Structure 1
Amino acid sequence: MDQKPSKALRVLIVDDEAPARKRLRDLLAEDAEIGTVAEAENGVAAVAAIESGHPDIVFLDVQMPEIDGFGVIEAIGADRMPLTIFVTAYDHYALKAFDTDAVDYLLKPFGNKRFEQAVARAKSRLRSAEARSLGPNVLELVARRETPGALWDWIVIKGSGVTKLVMASEVDWIEAAGVYVNLHFQGKECIYRSSLAAVTKRLDPLRFVRIHRSSVVNIKAIVQLEPISHGEFEVLLRDGARLILSRNYRAEVEKRLGQSL
């Protein structure tokens, strides 16, 4: 087994999903320059861990309950934050800013190579005179957060004198149903009175992807893809549904995954 160097890097992983934390921990275990790796499952624990452990690098999830990634930054103070690699499947507009302002970001789901690139960039910053230059950039980034409600966290469904709220993240897929759409979630389905194009514009573009002219899917709901012919795939979802990934939308799916199919 490789020995850790005497000045091993201290790392903190902040994510409310245990599988996501485990994946990062497993990848970090392969790096001989990484020493201690701590975890925090929410923003409150993250603030405490940063203040007490003084990590060199923080992998910070953007979307978490109660205090999200930006709330952690605000609590610590941007000028006091360790080098931060954002881990997100959420903020479309922030990603554009991260590309130039932050140390780096990892877009879920990410591949091993992309992870290695992010860590290498963080190490380079640590070794340079710019190692603490993240603060002002993050302040600018926080100021550019998208307007609440611009992308749906909840979908309001009205019908029969009752209004229901469905978390957008719980929707497995959406299909065109004439001039309306049919939402599929938790083994249920219901009509939503809006067009597929209009609904798609309000969904998180890093969580949902169009796979066919008549269907949009939640990436997390995909179990597997089976090649059919001529560049098309049959898409198996966690609710058992089988859809078609049209070759016209394949490039967009590959772009979201960061890998070829």
Structure 2
Amino acid sequence: MRQRRYPSDTTNAEWALIEALLPTPACDTAAGGRPEKHPRREIVDAIRYVVDTGCKWRALPADYPPWRTVWGFMARWAAAGVIGQIRDDLAGRIRREMGKGPRAVATVIDSQSVKAAETVGKDSRGYDAGKKINGRKRHMVVDTRGLPLLVMVTPASLTDRDAAREVLFRLRLMHPEITIVWADSAYAGKLVDWAKKHLNLTLKTVSRPKDASGFIVLPRRWVVERSLAWMMHARRHARDYERLVQHSETLITWAAITLMTKRLARKGPTTWSKKPKFTADVLPEQAF
């Protein structure tokens, strides 16, 4: 076993959470298979290192497994739906610690446009005229405490309203228990009626007050905006480098998983459970 020396490496408590959620190695199944050469903890640590530092896959430090091996595990686990299952299980544990049900019924949706690197092809990138960004757009759905439930990446040229049909359709398939989705005014219009008719989802928009000036805290909306900011703490997500949108979605989900395992591994109460206080002197980031 390699020495744990990087801030992104899993602690024993974090690894205990993740290890139990990974699929059984092929060599231990009835079908059989070749034993895995590298410990899975080192694979997970390497993935987290790439997400946290933003380095190239080929630039992984030599004390990690070969980058092709690490990338292969990342891609296979993503294709098999393992990463999404880990995310949902961890989110359910945090909700139970907060005294809530493991499944959310109320959610918040928003998007974020980011620049794309030269590794991103023209077929999956676009120009967001509103933000003046040439790249991709991340659509995220979170519960009312900011726990990520779904991430979808599209070209930045796709409007929030158009992308939301696919996002909400995926959300309904993955989480049939959800009944309401909060959003900003960009999602208003025909989408509200479409979501109610075809998905049985109530889409409610929260608009900025007409007489407001400067920064103000908007109910519901700030929760998902804060979650998007949390994902940006991982340097890999300051810009989109992934050739495939599904790999971009996977690494964003890994950032969320890292955040949740760190919170669950803490000895004291997690910040997810603290009730926010909306005062003139307290920002949303400070309230939690």
Superposition TM-score tier, normalisation by shorter sequence: under 0.3
TM-score (norm: length of structure 2): 0.23
Q: Which has the higher contact order (CA 8 A, sep 6+)?
A: 2
Structure with more strand by fraction: 1
Structure with more helix by fraction: 2
TM-score (norm: length of structure 1): 0.24
